[in-house]
Amino acid sequence: MLTTADFKRGLAIQVEGQPYVIVEYNVQTPSARGAATLVRVKARQVITGQVLDMTFKAGDKFEEPDLERRKINFLYADGDEYHFMDETSYEQFHMLGEALGDAVRWLKEGITLKSIVFQGRVAGVEVPQFVEMLVAETGPGGRSDMASGKVTKAATLENGTQVRVPVYLEAGETVLIDTTTGEFVKRVGK
C-alpha cells in the first residue's frame, strides 16, 4: 500500500479503480489547529491521458496499479492512428492521437519509448525525457528572453513540432529537446 508520504513525480497510484501517474504534487500544511494537512496532486489518467487535479488528506492510502512498462518502437503515423511495435514480442499495435496526448509531439520513426500496460492492455506510452530531433527549418532573427539573456527563434523539427532554439542554429542540425518542457537543451550535431 502506498500513502501520501510516498508521493513523487512519476509514481503510479490507483484511485477508484483507475490508474493515475503523478505529474506534480504539493503539500499544504494549514496554520489552524486541528486542521488536516492536504496533499494536492495533478495526475494523468493512464488510460485516457486526461490530467486531473485531486486533493487527499495526509496519510491516505492507495493501491499500486498493476502497470507494466515495455520497450516499444514507433513505426509510423497513418492519419490520427500511430503504429508501434513491442520490442520483445514483435507484436504491432496502434493508438489514436487523442489517447497519446502530448507524446505525439515527440514521435519520429524509429524512436524507442515505453508502453504502459494496464491489466494486459496497452493504455498509453511514455516518451523519454530527452529526444534528439533534426531541425527541418528555422525562422528569421529572434526575440530576446530578458530574464535569461538568451535570444531565440522559431524552429520546425523533422516531425513538424514547433520549438524555440538559439539564433545560431540552422536547418539540418540535430538538437536535444526536453520533452517535459518542450525546450531546447543543446546542439547534438549536424
User: Is 135 found in the same domain as 116?
Assistant: no
Q: With 90 as the cut, is the pLDDT of residue 180 above it?
A: no
According to the model, what pLDDT value does residue 143 have?
Answer: 59
Instruction: Supply the range of the domain harboring residue 121.
Output: 67-126
Q: With 90 as the cut, is the pLDDT of residue 175 above it?
A: yes
Mean pLDDT over 44-67 rounds to 84
Quickly tell me which residue has 513491442 as its cell: 86
C-alpha cell at 151: 535570444
C-alpha cell at 56: 487527499
pLDDT tens digits, residue range 111-137? 999 988 887 888 778 888 899 999 999
Quickly tell me which residue has 508520504 as its cell: 5
CA distances from 40 to 4, 21, 52, 69, 137 (A): 10, 14, 11, 26, 41
User: Is 72 found in the same domain as 57?
Assistant: no
Q: With 80 as the cut, is the pLDDT of residue 189 above it?
A: no
Domain end, chosen from 28, 44, 62, is at 62
According to the model, what pLDDT value does residue 75 have?
Answer: 94
Continuous segment of H or E residues that includes residue 145: strand 143-145
Structure confidence at residue 157 as a pLDDT band (50, 70, 90): very high
User: Is 137 found in the same domain as 122?
Assistant: no
Domain end, chosen from 14, 38, 62, is at 62
User: Is 73 found in the same domain as 36?
Assistant: no
Q: CA geometry: angle at 145 spanning 143 and 146, to 5°?
A: 120
Quickly tell me which residue has 535570444 as its cell: 151
User: Is 57 found in the same domain as 71?
Assistant: no
Structural domain count, the chain: 3
* Averaged pLDDT of the chain: 85
Domain of residue 180, CATH code:
2.40.50.140
pLDDT tens digits, residue range 70-105? 999 999 999 889 999 999 999 999 988 877 878 888
Domain end, chosen from 108, 126, 144, is at 126
Q: With 70 as the cut, is the pLDDT of residue 35 above it?
A: yes
According to the model, what pLDDT value does residue 182 have?
Answer: 87
62 in Cβ contact with 43 (< 8 Å): no
User: Is 97 found in the same domain as 48?
Assistant: no
CA distances from 160 to 44, 67, 128, 167 (A): 25, 31, 18, 19
According to the model, what pLDDT value does residue 36 have?
Answer: 81
User: Is 111 found in the same domain as 139?
Assistant: no
Q: Would you state the torsion angle of the CA atoms of residues 112, 176, 161, 99, taken in this order, to the nearest 10 degrees?
A: 40
According to the model, what pLDDT value does residue 147 have?
Answer: 53
Domain of residue 41, CATH code:
2.30.30.30
Q: With 60 as the cut, is the pLDDT of residue 55 above it?
A: yes
